[in-house]
Each structure stands twice: as C-alpha cells, then as structure tokens.
Amino acid sequence: MREKEDTMHDVIVVGAGPSGLNAAKILTEKGLDVLVLEKKSEVGKHITCAGIVGGEVFSEFQLSEESVLKKIREIKIVSPDSNIIYYKHPDPFAYIVDRERFDKSIARDIEERKVKIQCDSKVENIHVDNDSVQVWAGTNGKQRTKFTAQIVLIATGVNYSLHKKLDLGYPKDFLHGAQAELDLGPVDCTHMFLGKDIAAGAFAWLVPIGPKIVKVGLITESDPEGCFQRLIEKHFPSHLQNLDRTRVQFKPIAQGLTSKTYGERVLVLGEAAGHVKTTTGGGIYFGLVCSEIASGVVLRGFEKGDFTKNSLAEYEKLWKKSLQKEIRIGYKVRKFCAKLSDRQIEKIFKFIQSDGIIPLVQERGDFDWHSDLLLLLMKRIPFLQILKSQIVND
C-alpha cells in the first residue's frame, strides 16, 4: 500500500459524530488547526439512532435547527398488557431530528470555519512520542497517510480498537439496539413500549418522522433480533409479512462509567468514552457536554505546552463531576427495573395513573438530566423505595 505524509496539525479528531465535530468547532474558533478523520464515505451516514434530543440542545450548543422533523409534547407509554399512560407536557420537551442532517449541519458549520473533514479515512494506528502524536489512516485500501498533531481526540463511537492499542479504558457493559423504518400510516405521537418479551431490561419505541413513516426500535439486554421480531408481532402484526429484515439495523449501546479516558496526548469522548445516558441509551447530549469539557482541557494544554497524562487527567475529573451522578443512578435504576416482572410493571402503571406522579414529572422532569427526578420517584413508587436505600447507602 502506498504511504504519504500529511502536514502537521494542532489537533486531530478521529470520528465525525456530534461530539467530535463540536470539539473541532470549539477548538477552531480559538485559532487551532484541526483535522477531522472519518472512516465513512459521508458524515452522518448509516447511523442507528432514534433521533430524539432535548429541546435545549440547539441553544445550549449553538446548533442549527434545520434537522428538526417534529417537536415532542406528548407520548404514549404502553404496558406489557397494552394499558396506556398518556403524557402531555405543557411545552415541547424534545425534538425528533433527522440524524444525518443533524450531523451534517455541524460538519458544514465547521467546514465554513476552514476545518478539514477527510472522509473515507479509517484510522488504523496511533503512536505517541515526546513531541507529537502520529496517526495512520487508510483511504479505501489504496493509500495510507501519516498525519501528525500535538494531541488526538478519539470520538469513534462504539469502535474501541484504538483504545486497546493505546491502553485506554472502554465500556465493558452494553445494551443492544435494533431499529427499522416502517410505513405505518399517520401516527399521532411518539410511543414507548414496555415488556420483558420485547425489550428485556429496557424499552421499545415508535417515533414518527414523516406523514406515514416511523422509526420502530428497541434497546434490550439480550437477543435484539428476537425482541424486534416479537415487538412487530405484538404491536404491528399486519406489517410482519412485509418486514424487510435486511433493513433492520443493530447497534451495541455502552452502559456505565468508564475510566482511563485520557492518556499521553490523547483524550476520548462521546460514546467512545461511555458518555451515554444509562436510562435511555441516548448519547448525543452527553457527548456534546463532554466535547466542551475536552476542548477546554485541550486549550489549557496549548497554553501550558503540556499534553502529558498528568496534565490531561483534569479531563476525566471534570466530566465525571458533571456526569457521574447521572450515569451511576441511571444505571442502577435501569438494572433494578430490568428485574421487574411484567406483572410488577402493570402495578406500577396503576400506581402512576392514580397517585399524582404525572404532575410531578411535568414539574420536575428534564429530558437530559434524569437523576433528580429518579430519586424523587423512588420516594413515591413502592417498588423503587428499596432501590432508594441501596443508592443512598452506596
């Protein structure tokens, strides 16, 4: 394979998802030379994601709303026995986005700031020395290029091959996602489905993305293919025969806190660092939060001229200060709820419908930050009071 050498950069970002792109945007605004390497042929292609983000994400991170398809104000939660809790918020609390357009809008913004995004560039190896870091990327198997920078940000999603080469930490626990687009005709609102047969340890969803087209998906602790089959059989039986199983997308979803997200001249962010909501499996918001933290640490590194492991350790301290409570409590609640039987879930449904829980959610709920509401619900819902004592005493 032919090899060539690229010019020196200040920062190389590996992965053109939201966390990597947002970090590139911030660092470029501060005058750094940033190169983004993406293994796919285009930014945003072939992403398995429900595409739901909190309503504040656009203003908080100064992102374009051009990717928004719908605003969510109401949701139907369907129990194992098909009982329904209908929840309506006073205002839209989340947005459904076209995930490809969402990523591409950030990419276009940073390209306008003269950031180079090089697609079809799969990073194969990284070597760190005292003065720089070298990154080797292959382009469609035809050419291998060596890039050099002062520091590298790894934002590769659920691909952890580089972590292992650099002795970095990576998530050890995963849920499994499955999703497909179906033509169900007009659908009134977003749905969430519960039940051990269709989403063991988590939940399934229906998200309308057009006049007739919806995303149907789930996250589960095991057997995503079987769970998806049973989800369609139970809730959309008329579409079972016409289901094109080759179009069902599958994806692992990181769970739990991850350590060693930094090394000599290297930081890890986004899904690659386990920055994922342990309640819902969503990674966009936490990834963006940590991209800002990472950018601040990188900028201080340039001010000091110090990218050693000891200097970059600040990054892990800061992101854990921001997210550790959310990830830890969400993880424990989800694992506890995974043990509930369908019968126990039905009892919780009846309790919620009769005990003023919905007004509490309307008042105290936050789409992106769940731990405070979860702790409140533990006080109110009998099944969760046991978990409350476990978390407080942990």
* pLDDT for the residue numbered 191: 96
Distance, in Å, from the CA atom of 182 to the CA atom of 59, rounded to the nearest integer, reads 31
211, 198 Cβ separation under 8 angstroms: no
pLDDT band at 113 (very low <50, low <70, confident <90, very high): confident
* pLDDT for the residue numbered 379: 79
Q: H-helix or E-strand containing 255? A: strand 249-255
Least confident of 94-108, 154-168, 266-280, 329-343: 329-343
Check whether 2 has a pLDDT greater than 60. Answer: no
* Averaged confidence pLDDT in the chain: 91
Q: Quick one: CA dihedral 331, 262, 293, 65, positive or negative?
A: negative
Check whether 339 has a pLDDT greater than 80. Answer: yes
Q: What is the mean pLDDT of residues 273-301?
A: 97
Check whether 8 has a pLDDT greater than 70. Answer: yes
Q: What is the mean pLDDT of residues 204-214?
A: 94
Q: What is the mean pLDDT of residues 309-316?
A: 97
Check whether 361 has a pLDDT greater than 90. Answer: no
Q: What is the mean pLDDT of residues 245-256?
A: 90
Check whether 388 has a pLDDT greater than 60. Answer: no
Least confident of 136-140, 183-187, 297-301: 136-140
* pLDDT for the residue numbered 387: 62
Exposed e or buried b per residue across 166-175, where buried means at least 16 C-beta atoms within 10 angstroms of its C-beta = bebbbbeebb
* pLDDT for the residue numbered 363: 86
pTM of the prediction?
Answer: 0.93
pLDDT band at 358 (very low <50, low <70, confident <90, very high): confident
* pLDDT for the residue numbered 274: 96
191, 75 Cβ separation under 8 angstroms: yes
In the chain the domains, ranked by start, together with CATH numbers, are: 2-49+100-171+255-329 (3.50.50.60), 71-97+173-254 (3.30.9.10), 339-393 (no CATH)
For 82-202, where are the E strands, in sequence order? 84-88, 94-97, 116-118, 122-128, 133-139, 143-154, 173-183, 190-193
Q: Identify the CA nearest to 19 among candidates 267, 271, 288.
A: 288
